[in-house]
Chains A and B, each alone.
Chain A
Amino acid sequence: MQAIDESTDRDTSRAPITGRRRESLLEFVPLLGLIVVIAVFAIVTKGTSVSPFNLKLLLNQGVILAVIATGSSFIFSMGNFDISLGACTCLAALVGALVQNATGNVAVALVAGLCAGIGISLIAGFCIAYFRLPSFIVTLAMLMIITAGVSLIIGATSGVYLENDLKRFDTVAVKLIVLVVVVGLATVMFRFHRLGRSNKIIGGSQTVAVYSGISILRNTLLSFLISGIGIGLGAFLLLARTGCVSASTGTSLGFDIIIAIVLGGMPISGGAKSRISAAIIGAFTITALNSGLSLIGASPGVLQMVRGLLFLVVVTLLVLGHRERLLVR
């Protein structure tokens, strides 16, 4: 009898530890995924994908994605969804470019782009929080409105070119500084500030959050504000790199951010497992994947198919075992 009791005690005391170990091991899976993607393409391309030139390219593309994804992590951690991130970035870059051309002042252009990003993001956040609309409905409408607005301003085919280019800001040093500052501040906000903690509670259960005295309106607005800052900074870096804005700017960026966040290990429903590192790891994973596939000569169609399949598989694996009961059986 005593033996049975002891064994039962042992089992119950071991179970949570094993679960915890498994959980902490799972946290490294996205990072492992990034390493595997880089390693596989390094082998397939016989080292071309990890050449200094390509690594610089990877960094150039990855930082923009990482900065925007880091900001939007606050939205995703609440269980909200933003499919208009690419369009918002395009609009912020357009405003920045127009102001830069009009004033010739980089600081003013940066502030204008930031204001555009924050403004458009806050409008979406207000509609979601105040009118209690689903985030994908609002951001879908915003995507349509912004895309049409940009086309209206610059035309469907033409673009706005910078008269004085911002190439001096298109350096690895500048990008790394921006990335480190953004990630540092976002991590502090996410881990140690009330906003990050309450966002995770909202993502876990809105009802619990409301009963705990958390203001959904305040958190949603602040999260969209932070996302707007990310969009503004990302738009500025994008503008510095490309030197022009067209209606197609940021078309694939919006969905790349969603895939990046998912690949980084952020649950699509937000909640306690949300973390800023997901945005960084995911951004560089998707950039490495896009770059590697392009290097082996994959067509844009194949590239998109791989991204779509990967998205579905990773989301399924992430929520395996604790999926919502969408269908009764």
Chain B
Amino acid sequence: MVREPAQRGHVRKLLKNTAVCLSVPAAVFIIFQVVCIATGEEYINRETFRNFVFDVFKIGFIAWGLSFNVPAGRFDFSVGATICLAAIIGGNIASALGLGAAGLLVCCVVVGAVLGAVSGGAYVLFRLPAMVVSLGMALILEAFSYVLFGGGGIVLIGQSHMLSLIQAPWLYILGVGVFVILVVVANYTRFGYNWRALSGGQSVTVQMGVNEKVNAVVCYSVCGAVTAIAGVLILSKTGTQRPVLGLTSIPLMFQGFLPLFVGMALARYSEVITGIFIGAVVTGLINQGFAALGLPLAAQSMLNAVIWLGFVVVAVNQGKLAEFKAVRSWRKSVAWSDGRPQQ
């Protein structure tokens, strides 16, 4: 009986947080729906819905992977190269062993985890800024994608038994399954606890007995494994993965940034993995909207980059905006009190 008001408050907070989280994709959907109706285009139909779901999960996997490093201050340029190389090596192994779609997934995830661990090991070993190490690693991993398997990458066109992961129940099972695993890993395991603690403050966490080096390597490894699933989805859709050179893998990594930053902003209303998923839905809705309006791919990626930059500007300068408002209101109050007749 005594707990009732507290429980009511908790429920109210939960409802409020849910409403905030859902309002973002809802707003994006409504805006594009209105624009599409005004221009006579169809926004999302039965045909485009499959593309939308594929897009959401692909972007979501990249953003989930990035979330293990970027919020901790480890900017990773090598994610795109890891995705491509994991798909090439994993795909070739699965093909050589005559495995099916599940085998392809396992091979790519294992290779992705190993490549991620190598990147993490390089970060710990060189003790350089993550951005610098990841640039070097991106170059090396891209080069491996070209050097291995005679520069042919992987071609699985026609091998439909290996490419079924993007078909209807499997894509949903894969997406929801990985989502649940990541929520558990991030929130209910020792690794997740340490990861969040280290992201909050490294020195204090290390003094508490957490090994930051092991945690960093595991974070890179998890990032590699999760982003490799995005590589599997791309491979399953196109049937091929060609080698990449000259840092052309960066745009692939970049796809995960908008959902990551949206997710980090929404994390205070839910939790980070769920927030990122909502961010991926928002990004998917935006991409679908641009496609429905007939914008070419280049224009879509340009607008996505502009939106992301705008989002980062607002996120970083939130304090400045609040300060500006506070100063303005203080000035107003001072002016008002100065103009008031003295008693």
Contacts and interface: CB of A to CB of B under 8 A. Distances in A.
Contacts of A138: 309
B140 A81 contact: no
Interface in A48-86: 81, 83
A146 B151 CA distance: 29
Contact of A319 (B128, B135, B317): B128
Contact of B309 (A127, A305, A316): A127
A309 B298 contact: no
Interface string B118-139: 0000101011111111011111
Given A148-B299, A324-B129, A327-B127, A305 B143 contact: yes
Given A144-B302, A302-B147, A326 B139 contact: no
Contact of B129 (A300, A303, A304, A326): A326
Contact of B139 (A131, A132, A143, A307): A307
Nearest to B141: A308
A251 B248 contact: yes
B202 interface: yes
Contacts of B203: 328
Nearest to B243: A301
Contact of B137 (A136, A145, A308): A308
User: In the complex, which of the residues B122, B144, B308, B313 has the most CB atoms of chain A within 10 Å of its own CB atom?
Assistant: B313
A305 B139 contact: yes
Chain A's interface size range is 35 or more
Given A312-B128, A316-B126, 20 more contacts: A136-B131, A144-B251, A144-B305, A145-B309, A147-B251, A148-B301, A151-B298, A152-B298, A251-B247, A255-B246, A258-B135, A269-B129, A299-B147, A301-B147, A304-B139, A305-B147, A308-B137, A309-B140, A312-B136, A323-B128
A152 B296 contact: yes
Chain B's interface size range is 35 or more
Contact of B316 (A133, A141, A152, A255): A133
User: In the complex, which of the residues B138, B142, B203, B305 has the most CB atoms of chain A within 10 Å of its own CB atom?
Assistant: B305
Contacts of B298: 148-149, 151-152, 156
B212 interface: yes
Interface string B127-169: 1111111011111101111110001000000000000000000
B304 to A, nearest CB: 8
B250 interface: yes
A10 interface: no
Given A136-B75, A328-B202, A311 B302 contact: no
B132 A268 contact: yes
Contact of A301 (B124, B127, B143): B143
Interface string A11-25: 000000000000000
A120 to B, nearest CB: 13
Contact of B146 (A133, A251, A254, A301): A301
B20 interface: no
Interface of B is mostly: helix
A326 B130 contact: yes
B331 interface: no
8 contacts: A131-B316, A137-B309, A137-B312, A148-B302, A151-B298, A255-B135, A311-B136, A327-B124
Interface in B282-303: 296, 298-299, 301-302
A327 B122 CA distance: 13
B269 to A, nearest CB: 24
A115 interface: no
Contacts, number: 137
A301 B250 contact: no
Given A131-B313, A138-B309, A327-B216, A308 B140 contact: yes
A311 B147 contact: no
5 tightest Cβ-Cβ pairs between the two chains A and B = A308-B139, A301-B146, A305-B143, A148-B302, A144-B305
Interface in A229-263: 251-252, 254-255, 258
Given A149-B302, A156-B298, A323 B245 contact: no
B200 to A, nearest CB: 14
A255 B309 contact: no
B246 A251 contact: yes
A140 interface: yes
A168 interface: no
A163 B137 CA distance: 41
A252 B244 CA distance: 12
B213 interface: yes
Interface of A is mostly: helix
A83 B131 CA distance: 11
Given A147-B251, A148-B301, A305 B128 contact: no
Contacts of B212: 327-329
B173 interface: no
Interface in A95-149: 127, 131-133, 136-138, 140-141, 143-145, 147-149
A143 B306 CA distance: 11
A156 B248 CA distance: 13
Interface string A287-313: 000000000000111111101110110
Contacts of A300: 146, 245
Nearest to A254: B247
A224 B202 CA distance: 34
Contacts of B313: 127, 131, 133
A144 B301 CA distance: 7
B66 to A, nearest CB: 13
B206 interface: yes
Contacts of A323: 127-128
Nearest to A251: B246
B220 interface: no
A145 B302 contact: yes
B254 interface: yes
A127 B313 CA distance: 8
Interface in B93-121: none
A42 interface: no
A189 interface: no
Interface string B306-343: 10110011001100000000000000000000000000
Nearest to B130: A326
